[in-house]
Amino acid sequence: MKNRSADPAPIVQMRNIEKRYGQVSALRGMNLDLYKGEAVGIVGDNGAGKSTLVKILCGAIQPTAGEIRLDGQPVSFSSPHEARLCGIEIVYQDLAVIGHLTITQNVFLGREETKRVLGLRLLDSRKMDGIARKLIAGLDPVLENRTRVSVDSLSGGQKQSVAVARAMAFGPKVMILDEPTAALSVEKIERMLTLIRTLKESGLAVILISHRLQDIMTVCDRVVVMKSGALVRDLNVRTTDIDEIVKLMVSGGEMGAMPKASATAWSDHPTAPPAA
Amino acid sequence: MTVTQTAKVDRFSAERMKFSFRGGVFIPLMSLLLIFVMFGALAPTRFLTVTNVEVILTQAAVLAVVGFGLTLVIISGSIDLSVGSVAALSGIIAAQLAAALGPAPAVLIGVAVGGLAGFINGLVFVYLRVPSFLVTLAMLTTARGIAYFISDGESFVVYGMPILGYIGSYPTVVFVAVGLFAALWLLLNKTPMGLYIRSIGGSEQIARLVGLPLNRIKLSIFVLSGVTAGIGGLILASRQGAATPNLGTSLELDVITAVVLGGTPLTGCVGNVTNTVIGAIAISALSNGLIIVGLTSDVQMIIKGVVLILAILVALERSKIGIIK
C-alpha cells in the first residue's frame, strides 16, 4: 500500500465486514480497499468468503456488521439495484443473460431508454440498439450487427460479452467479475484479460474472482488472499508469485509459514510469471 | 477464415429459424387453417357461412379477451386457473347491480371485482409465496362458490348492458376485444413493463439481480388477468342475456388451450397476444365445428383434451425443463 501515493483516496472502502448465518460466520471482519484504475484479484479456497464479500459490495446480500464507503461516503445497499445506481456492477459467471431476449434487451434490462409517444412511455428501441451496437462492437465485433438477435443463439463467450456490455452500459465505477474465464476457451480468455486491462485504463476499479491464478498474476495489480472469511494478506503482484499465493491460501499465513518480509524475495523465484 | 465465417453464419441462421417457430405464428396459423379446411369439408354448407363465421368470431372474442390477461401471466412463467370462475363472479355481480345502479356503474363494478380477485391471487402468490397454480386453483373454487352464494343459485337477466349491443353492424364485443388487444400488445411489446414480464418468465433470478421490482410486476399481471377475466364474464353474461352462477364453467380450459395453441409456451418468456388471437379463433372454430358436425358434448370434451395435449407437445420447450414432475 506504500506505492499508492498517486491515488489520493480509495473509491471503495470496506471495513470490518462481518456476515453471519446463524452460528456460521461467512465473513469475520474483512477489510478491502479499491482504488481507481486498478484490478484486484480475490483468491481463496472454496468457502473462504470471496463470493460473500463481493455479493455484499454489489448489494445482493447485506452484511451483519461493518461499514462500506463509496468515494468516502458511507453507503448501504439493500438491493443490487441500489448498488448499480451507485456505479457498482457485477458480472456473474453463470447468471448472465436471459436467453429469449435480444442482445439490446439484455444490455438495457432494468434501465431502458424510453420516449414519449402520445403521452405513453414507450421503449426507444432504435436509440438502445445504437448504443448496444457500439458497446458490443468493442467487446466482440462479430456481434455488432446482431443486437436484435435472441441471446439463445450465441456461444457461451458471446453471452458473457453481452453480460459485460450490460455492466459497462452506464459508466460504472467498480466492476466485479466473478470467475469470468471459467467457461471460456483459451482464445476467449485472452480477450477477457485484454478487456480487463481496458477497463482499468478507463479508470474503473476491477475486482476479479478467479481460480486461475495465472490470469490474476497477468492482469491484476494486487492479490487479496482470503481464508475462513478473513483477510490473510494483501499482496502486490510485482512482489509475489503463484507459489506464495497458493501457500497463503492453504496455510492462511499462520504459524509464521510465510513471513511478510519474504514476499520481496519471492519475486525473483524462477516460476514467477513476468509482471503485467 | 472464410470457411469458419460461413459456418458461423449458417449455424446462426439455423438458430434463428428455430427461434422463429417458438412463439412464432406459423404453426398456430396452420392449425387454424387445418380446422377451417377440415370442418369446411365435413359441413361446407353450415360451417363456412357468413353468419357462422360471425358466430365463431364473437365467441373467439370472449376467449381472446380472457386469454389476453392469461397470456401475460403465462409469459411471466405463472398460470391463472381461476379465470372462468372470476368471469362468473364478475358477471353475476354486474347483472345483480345493473337493475339498481344502471348498466355503466354495474359494468365498472363487475370489472373491478375481477381486478380484486386477481389482486388477491397476486397477493397470496407474491407475498405468501404460494405457487400460482395452487393459489388460482383455490380461487377457482372460491370465486365459483361466492358466485353461487350471492346469487342463491339463481340467474339474473341482464338489462341493457351496453357491452352486448352493436356499433354499426358489428357486435360491440369485437370492438372491446380489438381495443384490449391493442392496449395489451403495446404493453407487452413496446413498454419496459412488457420486457420485465418476459424477463421474469425468462429468468427470475436475473430479473432480480438487475433490480426489477418483481413483486409489483407480478401483482400487476394477476390484477390484469382478473380484469380481463371480469370483462370476459360481462361479455358472456350479456351475450346469453342472463348471468348464471355456472357461467364460464371450464372456460379456463378453453382459454389455456387457446393461449397454448396460439404458440405461447407454458415455459414463459416467449409468446404474444397476437398468438392468443389466432389460438382463440382456432378453439372457437373447433368448438363450433364439433357442434355443427353433430358430435355430442362428451366427444367434444375428449377432442378438446387431446388438442390441449397436442398444443403443449408442439409449443412447450420440453428440452428446457430438466425434470418433469
Residue pLDDT, tens place only, A44-85: 988 888 989 999 999 989 999 999 999 999 999 998 888 989
A214/B contact by beta carbon, under 8 A? no
Q: Enter the C-alpha cell of residue B118.
A: 386477481
| A125-152 pLDDT, tens digit each | 999 999 999 999 888 888 888 888 889 8
Instruction: State the DSSP string of B247-291.
Output: TTTTHHHHHHHHHHHTT--TTSS---HHHHHHHHHHHHHHHHHHH
What is the pLDDT at residue B164? Answer: 61
pLDDT tens across B160-204, in order? 666 666 777 777 788 889 999 999 999 999 999 999 999 999 999
B131-136 mean pLDDT: 95
d(CA B257, CA B286): 11
By the 8 A CB rule, do B23 and B271 touch?
yes
Rounded to 5 degrees, φ, ψ at A13 are -125, 120
Cell numbers at A73, concatenated: 461516503
Would you state the cell numbers that stand for residue A57, as one nine-digit string?
459490495
Please count the other Cβ atoms lying within 10 Å of the Cβ belonging to residue A174.
Answer: 23
Q: Where are chain A's structural domains? A: 1-87+172-276, 98-170
pLDDT for the residue A242 = 87
Q: What is the pLDDT of residues B142-158, one digit of tens each?
A: 999 999 999 888 888 87
A62, A79 Cβ separation under 8 angstroms: no
Grid coordinates of B187: 404493453
ipTM of predicted complex:
0.82
Pick from B73, B80, B59, B93: nearest CA to B234: B93
Residues of B in contact with A127 (CB under 8 A): none
Does residue A69 sit in helix, strand or coil? Answer: strand
Range list of β-strands (E), B139-225: 156-157, 166-167, 170-171
Q: Can you give the pLDDT at residue A240?
A: 86
| Closest by Cα among B62, B197, B81 to B135 | B81
Q: Which of residues 76-105 of A touch B (CB under 8 A)?
A: 79-82, 84, 90, 92, 95-101, 105
pLDDT more than 90, % of chain A: 38
Q: Does residue B217 sit in helix, strand or coil?
A: helix
| Residue in A88, A109, A170 to test binding to B, most B beta-carbons within 10 Å | A109
Chain B residues contacting A, CB < 8 Å? 8, 12, 15-16, 19, 23, 186, 190-192, 195-196, 198-199, 202-203, 205-212, 269-270
* B66 pLDDT higher than 70: yes
DSSP state of A45: S
Question: According to the model, what pLDDT value does residue B267 have?
Answer: 86
Single pTM value for the model = 0.84
Residue type, position A8, single letter? P
Which residues in chain B are closer than 8 Å to A123, comparing Cβ atoms?
Answer: 190-192, 195
Q: Do A122 and B190 touch (CB under 8 A)?
A: yes
**Distance (Å, rounded) from C-alpha A238 to C-alpha A139?**
28
A109 touches chain B (CB under 8 A): yes
Compute the average pLDDT of residues A165-191. 85
- One-letter amino acid at B190 equals K
Report the interhelical angle of B192-202 vs B50-75 (nearest 10°): 70
Q: Which of A99, A72, A214 is nearest to A155 (CA)?
A: A99
Which of A82, A98, A120 minimises the CB distance to B199?
Answer: A98
Tens of pLDDT along A89-121?
998 877 679 989 999 999 999 889 999 988 889
Query: Over 50: is that where the pLDDT of B266 sits?
Result: yes
CA distance linking residue A34 with residue A222, whole number of Å: 10
Give A178→chain B minimum CA distance, Å. Answer: 14
Determine the residue of chain A that is closest to B19 in CA distance. A150
Instruction: Please tell me if residue A122 touches chain B, with a CB cutoff of 8 Å.
Output: yes
Residue B150 to residues A119, B108, B153, B160: CA-CA distances in angstroms?
41, 18, 8, 21
- In degrees, to the nearest 5, what angle opens at C-alpha B290 toward C-alphas B91 and B80? 40
C-alpha distance from A166 to closest chain B C-alpha (Å): 10
- Residue by residue, DSSP assigns B144-211 as HHHHHHHHTT--EEPP--TTTSEETTEEHHHHHHHHHHHHHHHHHHHSHHHHHHHHHHH-HHHHHHTT
Say which CATH topology domain A1-87+172-276 has: Rossmann fold (3.40.50)
pLDDT given for residue B163 in this prediction: 62
Q: What domains does chain B contain, in order, with CATH numbers?
A: 25-316 (1.10.3470)
Lowest mean pLDDT among A179-188, A266-275, B275-284: A266-275
With an 8 Å Cβ cutoff, are B206 and A114 in contact?
A: no
The partner residue sitting opposite B195, judged by closest CB among A84, A112, A153, is A112
List CB contacts (< 8 A) between A146 and chain B. 12
In angstroms, the separation between the Cα of residue B189 and the nearest Cα of chain A is: 9
Nearest chain B Cα distance for residue A153, angstroms: 6
Contacts of A166 in chain B (CB under 8 A): 210
Per-residue pLDDT reduced to its tens digit, A11-31: 999 999 999 998 888 999 999
Question: For B154-172, what is each residue's pLDDT tens digit?
Answer: 888 876 666 666 777 777 7
In A, minimum Cα distance to B268 occurs at A100
Radius of gyration of chain A (CA): 20
Give the closest residue to B64 by CA, choosing from B274, B264, B239, B245: B274
Q: Are strands A73-75 and A65-70 parallel, antiparallel or unpaired?
A: antiparallel
Nearest-CA distance B64 → chain A (Å): 24
Backbone phi and psi for residue B89, each to the nearest 5 degrees, phi listed first: -60, -45
Average pLDDT, chain B: 86
Q: Measured between CA atoms, how close is B132 to chain A, in angstroms?
A: 22
C-alpha distances (whole Å) from B251 to each of B62, B151, B247, B257 are: 10, 20, 9, 10
Which residues are registered as beta bridge partners of B157? B242
The answer to whether B202 contacts A142, with C-beta atoms less than 8 Å apart, is no
- Distance CA(B272)–CA(A108), nearest Å, equals 21
Q: How far is CA B207 from the centre of its chain?
A: 25
The pLDDT of residue B162? 62
What's the pLDDT band for B19 if we cut at 50, 70, 90? very low
Q: Is A95 in Cβ contact with B12 (below 8 Å)?
A: no
For B310-321, what is the mean pLDDT?
70
CA–CA distance, B273 with B277 (Å, rounded to integer): 6
Distance from CA of A38 to the nearest CA of B (A): 25
Nearest by CB to residue A152, choosing from B15, B205, B210, is B15
User: Which amino acid makes up residue A67?
Assistant: E
Whether B28 and B261 have beta carbons less than 8 Å apart is answered as yes
CB contact under 8 A, B202 and A100: yes
Contact A84 B211 (CB under 8 A): yes
Contact residues, chain B, for A168 at CB < 8 Å: none
Tell me the count of A-B CB pairs closer than 8 A: 79
Rounded to the nearest angstrom, the minimum Cα separation between B223 and chain A is 20
- Spatial distance between the Cα atoms of B310 and B243, rounded to a whole number of angstroms: 33
Does B291 score more than 90 pLDDT?
Answer: yes
Measured CA distances, B92 to A75, B46, B247 (Å): 54, 33, 8
